[in-house]
Structure 1
């Protein structure tokens, strides 16, 4: 493996945290311990989205992330929006209005009344013009015997997020008790990030690439530029944002990006998958018994919260 050149900035991509504050602290400690201190202090850190739900400490996770720029002023931090964060944001009323001038409630029909009933969409205070993902996020999905699936409140498993702010699942009080700095953080999450001059280790040695980070990936059958435009504009007129919320259709690398030597890095999929320049870093998938993972570029080294390190805490 070739030596890391001084001018090659470390790029660290961190998978879906899902409310697991203890995992995040341990992973950060291990990243500090397993990298050169001077390079870590200047690293580009890309968080791949999904900070909330499933795990118990969404509020502590967001506090941790908000504090990073002041604790590490020479690092660059990128916080992507995940599909769970989209639902959280929709419930809090933080999404920008649709670009086409429509109202959020006009999209409910597109999804269908059957889904509304089956998923137990939220119908409480403030639902009247809420994006349907906000209603799904705060809804109540009943657990059915024999299915093997146990929901924590909604299909998003959002109950732990409500509880981390000391309110019961589905309570409209959440919008009042989430601190303003948390709301600002959530509202400012980016939907896609592009970075030039990222180095990556390959069979031929280190090579310079463009990197695009997006929570789920890009569709094969649509021009990438069109998808980037939608993401950059934060267009909420679309009811289903496949680059953020889909799975199978965005798993692979679009051919046009393969030809351009572009790294596409995502979380979302509940797997660790490395296929040349297509990187999926979500080994934990929000499961309590699975690790939180990160990848370091250019070395392609995987670091987990479960790695044993003697380094100090943040």
Structure 2
């Protein structure tokens, strides 16, 4: 992308977890257009923070929308991050790259107790023998209904993947999903990046404006492990482990690593079910995957938060 806007004028817009809510995504996009300068919006860097599938009813429409963006907005730059739900979806479809160390996906099954496999009702139908553990969990049929952590109900699997199957016209847990998902959707999923780095991103705070580096990754960066090592693993798309820490992690991924505090670096993620803006550590996920919660985005450099629920005459399309 080429742009005649200087770095200080460039908008960087980070959009939280969509989770199959096409109507929320459309309304948020219209609000972003309405509340920004058109010339800046049309040349913005748009970073989607992952989790396009599950929970909501329209995963197929969400992915269609995202696929169409580069042709509709050719002067924007679009970055589509891999989320943990997208990881499971991709694993079920057989789209993940093989493990870098030459091992087989089934090695990762051993990391889980039999009681977990039973409770989560892991997928054991056609093709399961060669499936990454997250694909089996994603396509499984969980035995309990209530998610104690969120107070909401599971929709089919531990990932609430039932609506994703339904959006492609197949029953939950059916291997027919591999044939039902269009090739262009499979290509989109296979090409999701596991992290994104961007230089010369400006932010505004009480101290004024400053130029930073930006790292975007779905869950964040582990606060106590070497950053370079974590980014190297993400760049290699290593699927040898049962979980990818920076995509699936929780507790140790919410804070800013001390190492990154020494040089101005923005770390932005979704995943955690909260809106958290603490200096340069940004978490943009207001649990938009639940019907009555908003889908949120943040605009840099202003640090302004925009939601699909913001009222404007332009957000009804």
TM-score by length of 2: 0.95
Partner of 2:42: 41
Partner of 1:179: 182
1:254-283 deviation line (CA, Å, top 9, x unaligned): 001111110000000010000000000001
Partner of 2:135: 134
Hey, what's the Cα distance between the residues in 2 that align with 1:221 and 1:208? 25
User: Structure 2: 5+ residue runs without aligned partners?
Assistant: none
Partner of 1:109: 110
Is the 1:271–1:285 Cα contact (8 Å) retained in structure 2? no
Partner of 2:82: 81
User: Structure 1: 5+ residue runs without aligned partners?
Assistant: none
Question: 1:69 aligned to 2:70?
Answer: yes
Partner of 1:97: 98
Partner of 2:126: 125
Hey, what's the Cα distance between the residues in 2 that align with 1:103 and 1:31? 44
Hey, what's the Cα distance between the residues in 2 that align with 1:32 and 1:252? 31
Hey, what's the Cα distance between the residues in 2 that align with 1:300 and 1:133? 34
1:128-184 deviation line (CA, Å, top 9, x unaligned): 010000000000002258966521100000000000000000000000010000000
Partner of 1:261: 264
Is the 1:119–1:155 Cα contact (8 Å) retained in structure 2? yes
Question: 1:158 aligned to 2:152?
Answer: no
Hey, what's the Cα distance between the residues in 2 that align with 1:312 and 1:159? 29
Query: Alignment length, in residue pairs?
Result: 311
Change (3 A) 1:41 1:149: closer
Is the 2:145–2:154 Cα contact (8 Å) retained in structure 1? no
Partner of 1:245: 248
Change (3 A) 1:146 1:313: closer
Hey, what's the Cα distance between the residues in 2 that align with 1:302 and 1:251? 19
Aligned Cα root-mean-square deviation (Å):
1.6
**1:230 alignment partner, SS class:** helix
Partner of 1:216: 219
1:240 is displaced (CA, Å) by 1.6
Is the 1:122–1:170 Cα contact (8 Å) retained in structure 2? yes
Is the 2:288–2:296 Cα contact (8 Å) retained in structure 1? no
Question: 1:168 aligned to 2:161?
Answer: no
1:6 is displaced (CA, Å) by 7.5
Change (3 A) 1:70 1:270: same
**2:153 alignment partner, SS class:** coil
Question: 1:276 aligned to 2:276?
Answer: no
1:236-259 deviation line (CA, Å, top 9, x unaligned): 011121111111110100001111
Change (3 A) 1:312 1:252: closer
After alignment, is 228-237 or 144-153 more displaced? Answer: 144-153
After alignment, is 110-119 or 84-93 more displaced? Answer: 110-119
Hey, what's the Cα distance between the residues in 2 that align with 1:36 and 1:150? 40
Runs of 4+ with >6 A deviation: none
TM-score by length of 1: 0.96
**1:77 alignment partner, SS class:** strand
